Amino acid sequence: MLAAGFVALFLLSPESFTALFRPLTRNNAPAIYTQTSLLALTLSHLAIVAVAVLASTLVAILLAIIVTRPSGREFLPLARTVTTVGQTFPPVAVLALAVPVLGFGMAPTLVALFLYGLLPVFENALAGLTGQTPEITEAARGMGLTPNQRLWRIDLPLALPLLLAGMRLTAVISLGTATIGSTVAARTLGEVIIAGLLSSNTAFVVQGGMIVGILAVLIHHGFGALEARAARAAGQTVP
């Protein structure tokens, strides 16, 4: 809560923290980044991450559902290959390839984050959908549930804690990775960091990195709380 309060105060009134960042400047350089509103950049950064994580989650869960059905199991190696490529292919390379097709701005960044976020959600969804105990499987069969009914009433609710864990990892990774979007004119907090590097102003670098870092911690804890609640609802042990 203290970190959240600090970030909120800093974003609403960054000039109030001038004295804190002044020692990180030299040659009378500005201590606070003012070229663009830090609040506007933060909201834009979060919006890009949210869209990318949502898209990655929907596609990854759909793939996991398909390959865990009897008719789709043969596509598991292909699905694993597709989701793994997103992690092994550097986001910077994705941006370089996407810009000629999509142009500068938000779109190339969304593509890079989308591909980078597929693997954690897919693997966790796969583990959740295939990790049911034989007792649960027999109970579902005894209740006469159809495969679709079992999916929506049993498999997905029990897999929810693992799904949220995958989303947590994807969100935290995407939050940090999104900063490179500023290299292709996306409005992210990377703009502040890049401005600091170009002008040798450590204060700007610290401000951009600080906001991203604290937001990552808050998102991590937020998803952690959701995971614990989902685990309790599913009757699972909360670590």
Per-residue pLDDT tens digits for 53-85? 999 999 999 999 999 888 888 999 999 988 888
Q: What are the tokens at 15?
A: 């000039």
Q: Is the dihedral of CA 78, 152, 124, 109 positive or negative?
A: positive
Indicate the fold that domain 36-234 takes in CATH. Answer: MetI-like fold (1.10.3720)
CA gap 108, 184 in Å, rounded = 8
166 touches 60 (CB < 8 A): yes
Q: Is the pLDDT of residue 223 over 90?
A: yes
Q: Averaged over 142-168, what is the pLDDT?
A: 86
Q: What is the pTM of this model?
A: 0.90
The top-scoring range by mean pLDDT among 35-49, 89-103, 129-143 is: 35-49
Using left for φ > 0, alpha for ψ between -120 and 50, and beta otherwise, residue 26 falls in beta
Confidence of residue 164 (pLDDT cuts 50, 70, 90): very high
Local confidence band at 113 (pLDDT 50, 70, 90 cut-offs): very high
- Please report the pLDDT score of residue 118 as a whole number: 93
Q: Is the pLDDT of residue 13 over 60?
A: yes
**Residue 145 scores a pLDDT above 80:** no
